Amino acid sequence: MDITSKVVNDVMIIKLHGQLNIDTSPQFREILFAKIDADPSNNKILIDCDLLEYVSSAGIQVLYILLDKLEQKDGKLALCSVSPNVKKVFNIIDLMSDIQIYKDQAEALTKLNS
Amino acid sequence: MATAINTSSQYQRVIKRDRIRLLIFVAVVIFFPVWFAEIVIFNFWIGDRLTWLFWCVSIGIAAILALLVFYVFIYFRAQQNLQVLAKVIFAFDATDFDQIVNNLSQTRSIEEEASILANLLIQLKKNFSHFKQNLLHKTQETARIKDELIIARNLQQHMLPTEFINVTKNFPNISVYANLIPATEVSGDFYDVFALDDDKLLLTIGDVCGKGIAACVLMSRLLTIIRTSALAMQHSKSSESTMLLDLLARLNTGLYQVGYEHCMFATMILAIFDMRTNKLIYCNAGHNPLCVISTENKSVKFIENSSKPVGIREQAVYQCKELQLAAGDYCLFYTDGIVETHDQAGALFDEHGMEKSLLGRVEFGSKAVVNGLLQDAGNFAPNIPQEDDMTALIIHHHMPKSGTMKSTAIQTTKPIKSSTITVKSGIEAIKTVQIEIKSFLLANRFKAAELGDLDVCIEEILANIIKYGYGPNKPGDIDVKIDLYTDEFCLQFIDQAMAFNPLQLLASHMATQAKRTSGERGLKLVASMADGLAYSRKDDHNILSVIKKYSSMRKGV
């Protein structure tokens, strides 16, 4: 899995490319935690799922851990550009009741900064 | 060889003598050229200048040559001695100092140096022998303690019953099982089960604070008091609760007398179970709650109500409670070592982990439930050494037999096509199975785009088998079988891990709880994506079948 990140308007945008499964989620967790710990002002994270092929419960677990961590820092976590396949998984788990999902980056950025 | 130098002052004397020799040597070397130069300068103006010059130059050169030869000689001799020393050092065997000293005596000349070295080594040998003796003594002492600990462990294990059939032999619908896994050689946890009469069992579980020898000694005392007192009281006409309270008072006094000064106390549950009426009378002295597992409701209930631990106050008041077990219910007693198992991040196995482990095994009986629970708690933090003793004791009131559970989902007709992959449990196995199953389906005219769910299902099921079934310490084989039928295909995951029915978790309230672990979420994903799920246990194998209907997944069939 490839993870790229950039900061736009105080929001860290993480773009995931590939599969967020049992194999890759520890790496995902490590990278994200390092980024959050590196700078205390990094407390708004948007995960762009445009190129995310599939997600399993191990990946969802990391999203929840990340959410807990950000909430402790008064931060926000949101997802955007989720493909139908991945969205199906999120629906089953009812992830949307805990983490906001936006249509695309532009919408997410406006909402996160409002 | 020079005489032995035995004291430090003799050693200093030799050093001093060597310095004097060096001074004389230097003086001679400097004195001669100066003296010679004087003669040369004096005679140069008086005698035959040329003859004098010739002699002066000749003798000067001769002197320099002699000096050179002398230095070369000294150099080679030193080299030779160094070589002997090197040989000795390379062949060094700490056990044979005499040989070293003997070898050093072969150094040529400069006897004093060899002698000093030899004697220093003799001193070293003395020191070393002393050290070796100490070490040997300590090692023997450690070995002796270890042997004694092993004996203590065996004795302790013999104090804990391991056969439970006899105590319930008149009641085929009741079973009892218990197991204890100590964290060190001996444990502070204990349990006991014995018959008070034909109908009643006395059950106890407990944990003496601390672990190791001290805790072990106290637990032996407690077990002895329980057995002897209970058996002495069994013919008295007093009620169960009076008997339990009397017993607890004796235990409290017995432990308070010996343990109080050392701040040692114990938490425990003491219970009497009537196998005729399935009623449990118990008293909880500061111990973890009782846990009732209902097979019918697929629920786990923790019953909190405890008094003071025993041995902490001279006068302690205890209360007895009653619990009626329904058909199919289990009643579990456990120690804190199970719930307090934690992983590296500090997350606890806790009651949630217990619930999951217990529900998955309700259909397999007491032994599977207890051993499964201990295994799951152990696997929760495989990289951390077990910190506390773990003990579980269970009573099960069997459901009346009503035929075996049958799965309606599994096809009985012969499949059109089949394939099986066997993998070793490990995260790598997931990818292999995903690729193999997908390529089998694609080769049988399925559309790749429709198989997205399959990867998730395979990952979730395999991850559960790998993580919780086998655990990281005991990897085993997993067979994944795919059968194609006319309108559906069936994936079977077959493993030889301890019996566990994940579908029981789905049926319980755990599946709808807000705080779920990745395993439970995974199970929910599989259940939502599959068109049918079935579990069976056959010949010590867990078989989980996932059925998927074709709908639009296959082209042109």
Decide if B524 touches A, using CB distance below 8 A.
yes
Q: ipTM higher than 0.85?
A: no
Residues B351 and B424 in one domain: no
Residues B229 and B329 in one domain: yes
Q: What is the CATH number of the domain that holds B236?
A: 3.60.40.10
DSSP chain A: -EEEEEEETTEEEEEEEEEESTTTHHHHHHHHHHHHHH-TT--EEEEEEEEEEEE-HHHHHHHHHHHHHHHHTT-EEEEES--HHHHHHHHHHTGGGTSEEESSHHHHHHHHH-
Residues B372 and B235 in one domain: yes
Decide if B530 touches A, using CB distance below 8 A.
no
**A93/B463 CB distance under 8 A:** no
What CA–CA distance (Å, rounded) separates B53 from B267? Answer: 110
The answer as to whether B201 is a domain residue is yes
Residues B337 and B215 in one domain: yes
Q: Which of A23, A85, A93 sits opposite B521 (nearest CB)?
A: A93
Residues B388 and B424 in one domain: no
The answer as to whether B148 is a domain residue is no
Residues B106 and B23 in one domain: yes
The answer as to whether B440 is a domain residue is yes
The answer as to whether B202 is a domain residue is yes
Residues B220 and B366 in one domain: yes
pLDDT, average across residues B420-444:
90
| pLDDT tens digits for range B540-549 | 899 999 988 8
pLDDT, average across residues B7-36:
69
The pLDDT score that the predictor gives to residue B552 is 54
Residues B212 and B269 in one domain: yes
**B526-550 exposure pattern, b = at least 16 Cβ within 10 A, e = fewer:** bbebbebbbbbeeeeebbbbbbbeb
Decide if B438 touches A, using CB distance below 8 A.
no
- Of the CATH numbers 3.40.605.10, 3.20.20.150, 3.20.20.30, 3.30.750.24, which one belongs to the domain with range A2-107? 3.30.750.24
Better pLDDT: B120 or B206:
B206
Residues B287 and B382 in one domain: yes
Q: Residue B301 pLDDT > 90, yes or no?
A: yes
Residues B433 and B389 in one domain: no
Question: How confident is the prediction for chain B on average, in pLDDT?
Answer: 82
Residue B310: DSSP 8-state: B
Q: Residue B379 pLDDT > 80, yes or no?
A: yes
| pLDDT tens digits for range B135-163 | 999 999 999 988 988 888 888 888 899 99
| pLDDT tens digits for range A69-88 | 898 888 899 999 999 888 88
Q: Residue B88 pLDDT > 80, yes or no?
A: no
The answer as to whether B303 is a domain residue is yes
The answer as to whether B297 is a domain residue is yes
Distance from CA of A6 to the nearest CA of B (A): 29
The pLDDT score that the predictor gives to residue B482 is 92
- The size of the A-B interface in CB pairs under 8 A is 47
| pLDDT tens digits for range B189-210 | 999 999 998 889 999 999 988 7
How many domains are contained in chain B?
A: 3
Q: Residue B95 pLDDT > 70, yes or no?
A: no
pLDDT, average across residues B284-289:
92
CA-angle at B192, arms to B187 and B198, nearest 5°? 170
Domain boundaries, chain A: 2-107
How many residues belong to chain A?
Answer: 114
Residues B331 and B216 in one domain: yes
Give CA separation, B8 vs B12, B82, B110, B423, in Å. Answer: 6, 23, 19, 73
The answer as to whether B121 is a domain residue is yes
Residues of A with CB below 8 A from B460's CB?
A: 56-57
Distance from CA of B292 to the nearest CA of A (A): 29
The pLDDT score that the predictor gives to residue B3 is 42
**B58-67, B229-238, B457-466 — most confident range:** B457-466
Better pLDDT: B324 or A91:
B324
The answer as to whether B408 is a domain residue is no
Q: Residue A111 pLDDT > 80, yes or no?
A: yes
**A57/B528 CB distance under 8 A:** no
pLDDT, average across residues B233-250:
87
Nearest residue to B544 (alpha-carbon basis) of B510, B512, B504? B504
Q: Residue B503 pLDDT > 60, yes or no?
A: yes
Residues of the domain holding B68: 8-128
Task: Count CB neighbours of B229 within 10 A.
Answer: 18
Q: Residue A21 pLDDT > 90, yes or no?
A: no
Residues B180 and B51 in one domain: no
Under 8 Å between Cβ of B205 and B268: yes
pLDDT band for B407, please (50, 70, 90 cuts).
very low
Of the listed ranges A88-97, A104-113, B22-31, B112-121, the one predicted with least confidence: B112-121
